[in-house]
Amino acid sequence: MSTTTAAWNPQGPSPMPYHRYRPYQDRVNVPADDRSWPAARIDRAPLWVPVDLRDGNQALAEPMDTPRKRRFFDLLTGVGFKEIEVGYPSASRTDFDFVRHLVTSGAVPDDVTPVVFTPARPELIDRTFESIAGLERAVVHLYIATSPVWREVVLGRDRHRIRETVREAAERMARLAGDSPGIRFQFSPETFNLTEPDFVLELCDGLTELWDASPDRPVTHNLPATVEIATPNVYADQIEYMHRRLSRRDSVILSVHPHNDRGTGVACAELAVLAGAQRVEGCLFGNGERTGNVDLVTLALNLYSQGVDPMVDFSDIDAVRETVEHCNRLPVHPRHPYAGDLVHTAFSGTHQDAIDKGFAHRAEHPDEPWQVPYLPIDPADIGRSYEAVIRVNSQSGKGGVAYLLRTHHGIDLPPRMRPDFSRVVQEATDESGREATPKELYGLFVETYLVETCLTEERPVDPGEFEILELVEDGTAAFAEVRVDGVTAWGAGLGPSASAQAVRSAAHRAAAR
Ligand SMILES: CC(=O)SCCNC(=O)CCNC(=O)[C@H](O)C(C)(C)COP(=O)(O)OP(=O)(O)OC[C@H]1O[C@@H](n2cnc3c(N)ncnc32)[C@H](O)[C@@H]1OP(=O)(O)O
Ligand SMILES: CC(C)C(=O)C(=O)O
């Protein structure tokens, strides 16, 4: 990219000390392989693994207690997740007790595998195995940071010492698991995205060998973007590098664990799946350390919107959201993809017009694939009503106003009358600075167009004086446009003598102008 400033771009240098930071190219070696991921396509869902009860939980000011964790766990199994990280049992008594609760209460369905998380420390590995005693199936997940800064600054161990620590931990895990066929292993080189690729490959391949992974008892290598450092294409290159080189590839489940520091967690996960990842760890609605873990709801519904089976059920997204908000004690943002309160709502006029026309088109062609403008998916598919799709304020136009009157009050304004009522609404909302609810719109409609009595008394109109320009009757209501002395106005009527009322009303409005 050119660094010279073009005449059309008047931006000046920022006073912020950006020179303190380095581009990712100076921080990690990213393999310059040929890449195939840009041309790939996602045609099936990866294995989703929610880590809300561990990574999400460790980021909460008030970690979940057993009842909250249990409620979350039941939600996750109910939605259809089959592998669930349930805690960091060596971290606290609460975490340990919850895993024991799962073991002893029979809460784990037969087709669900819990995952437990442990650092590479012998006493904590022992405690982790203690927590799962009695579970038929579990994945024991070992982690240690592998990148240069963490090695030097945090762990004080060089590559050789890290290799040794990992080997000793893995041997201990293998010993503790014994010949139990239901216990599988997972390894996460924390800060993978900042680690030299050859070192990660060496560690992962060493464990595949040591744990004797096979297609029947595969090992999971989980490659986290612990802290995002680059655009998502870079993560995809890193994942594809591993995908192509990991040994015993058919005995390895290649997993990713993106965080969202740059706001690109979802993009990282999607590009990583294009690059060969088969499993994705994340949290519902993106809870997690700092800016959060990648949001599994968004990922699953992104697939859904492509016509791909997401293999989880979010058909009642508000119930899912309510449980997650209760357990995390954190709200979901109103603009959150798919689940936020406002994400299926249009306030602006041209959007409302397009949605209105889209629904009308759909009513005539119900079997066509979904293509209502501005609505990526049908809100009804995730349990949302159409009620909130269009809301009116001063940014709205005639289409939205007409839509609300029609859908909430059964009043279908004739197209030529819509601009007239829209002006009335615009004045009212400009004046109030607020949204106009469907009830308020109806009130404005009645007040504006059903005006016969007072005007009749003030200035009676002789029927011979006016000309009816348009009269529309639709069974419930009638609408009339009338000219009096060269002045036109609309009126409306409801009920049995709606037409007569509409004409009288319009005539009196015109006469009063
Ligand atoms: C990216 C992630 O999300 S990783 C998961 C992080 N999650 C958590 O930390 C939540 C739960 N953790 C805890 O409850 C505690 O940290 C415990 C129980 C695990 C350990 O507690 P403590 O013994 O008090 O240690 P502390 O919390 O200070 O952790 C730092 C120590 O762990 C070491 N450490 C960090 N990661 C690892 C690892 N994967 N394997 C082995 N040791 C590690 C550090 O080098 C440091 O050791 P040092 O004291 O010798 O310098
Ligand atoms: C250790 C892994 C799984 C992790 O939580 C991270 O890197 O964020």
pLDDT on residue 454: 43
Percent of the residues in the chain that have a pLDDT greater than 70, as a whole number: 96
Other Cβ atoms closer than 10 A to 152: 11
Q: State whether the beta carbon of 224 lies less than 6 angstroms from ligand 2.
A: yes
Kindly compute the dihedral angle of the four CA atoms of residues 198, 199, 204, 208, in this order, to the nearest 10 degrees.
80
pLDDT on residue 43: 97
Strand order in the sheet with 487-494: 466-473, 477-484, 487-494
* DSSP characters over 282-307: EBGGG-SSTT-B-BHHHHHHHHHTTT
* 267, 42 Cβ separation under 8 angstroms: no
Q: Do domains 22-328 and 450-512 have the same CATH topology?
A: no
Provide the pLDDT confidence category of residue 458 given band limits of 50, 70 and 90. very low
Beta bridge partners of 256: 223, 280
What are the start-end ranges of the E strands in 265-376? Answer: 279-282
Contacts of 130 (CB under 8 A, 6+ apart): 89, 96
pLDDT on residue 2: 54
Ligand 2 atom at minimum distance from 224 CA: 7
- Going by their DSSP bridges, the two strands 83-87 and 47-50 should be labelled as unpaired
Provide the pLDDT confidence category of residue 156 given band limits of 50, 70 and 90. very high
How far is C-alpha 412 from the chain's CA centre?
35
Q: In this structure, what are the phi and psi dihedrals at residue 276, rounded to the nearest 5 degrees?
A: 120, 0
Question: How much distance in Å is there from the Cα of 32 to the middle of ligand 2?
Answer: 25
Question: How much distance in Å is there from the Cα of 146 to the middle of ligand 1?
Answer: 14
Find the helix or strand (DSSP H, E) in which 438 lies: helix 438-449
Token pair of 422 as six digits: 């829209």
Residue of 99, 155, 260 best suited for mutating to test ligand 1, as the one with most atoms within 8 Å of CB? 155
**What residue ranges do the domains of the chain occupy?**
22-328, 349-446, 450-512
* 456, 462 Cβ separation under 8 angstroms: no
* 194, 229 Cβ separation under 8 angstroms: yes
Nearest CA to ligand 1 atom 39: 144
Other Cβ atoms closer than 10 A to 229: 19
Q: How far is CA 497 from CA 64, 137, 191, 255, 461, in A?
A: 63, 73, 75, 70, 18
Residue of 58, 152, 166, 167 best suited for mutating to test ligand 1, as the one with most atoms within 8 Å of CB? 58
Residue of 49, 55, 283 best suited for mutating to test ligand 2, as the one with most atoms within 8 Å of CB? 55
Task: Please write down the HEC assignment for all residues of 223-290.
Answer: EEECCCCCCHHHHHHHHHHHHHHCCCHHHEEEEEEEECCCCCHHHHHHHHHHCCCCEEEEEHHHCCCC
Other Cβ atoms closer than 10 A to 343: 17
How far is C-alpha 31 from the chain's CA centre?
31
Nearest CA to ligand 2 atom 3: 188
Q: How far apart are CA 429 and CA 243, in angstroms?
A: 57
Find the helix or strand (DSSP H, E) in which 219 lies: strand 219-225
CATH code of domain 450-512: 3.30.160
Q: Which residues line ligand 1 (CB under 6 A)?
A: 55, 58, 88, 90-92, 119-121, 143-144, 154-155, 190, 226, 289
Question: How much distance in Å is there from the Cα of 471 to the middle of ligand 2?
Answer: 68
The one-letter code for the residue type at 152 is E
Q: What is the tens place of the pLDDT at every residue in 119-132?
A: 999 999 999 999 99
pLDDT on residue 1: 54
Q: How far apart are CA 195 and CA 140, in angstroms?
A: 23
Question: How much distance in Å is there from the Cα of 148 to the middle of ligand 1?
Answer: 17
Q: What is the tens place of the pLDDT at every residue in 38-67?
A: 999 999 999 999 999 999 999 999 999 999
pLDDT on residue 276: 98
Asked if the 22-328 domain carries CATH number 3.20.20.70, the reply is: yes
Q: State whether the beta carbon of 85 lies less than 6 angstroms from ligand 2.
A: no
Q: In this structure, what are the phi and psi dihedrals at residue 482, rounded to the nearest 5 degrees?
A: -130, 145
pLDDT on residue 378: 97
Q: State whether the beta carbon of 226 lies less than 6 angstroms from ligand 2.
A: yes
Beta bridge partners of 114: 84
The ipTM value here is: 0.95
* DSSP characters over 72-108: HHHHHHHHT-SEEEEE-TTT-HHHHHHHHHHHHHT-S
Residue 319 pLDDT > 80, yes or no? yes
Q: In whole angstroms, how large is the CA radius of gyration of the chain?
A: 31
Residue of 94, 118, 121 best suited for mutating to test ligand 1, as the one with most atoms within 8 Å of CB? 121
Strand order in the sheet with 252-258: 47-50, 279-282, 252-258, 219-225, 183-190, 138-145, 113-119, 83-87
Ligand 1 atom at minimum distance from 91 CA: 14
Question: How much distance in Å is there from the Cα of 107 to the middle of ligand 2?
Answer: 26
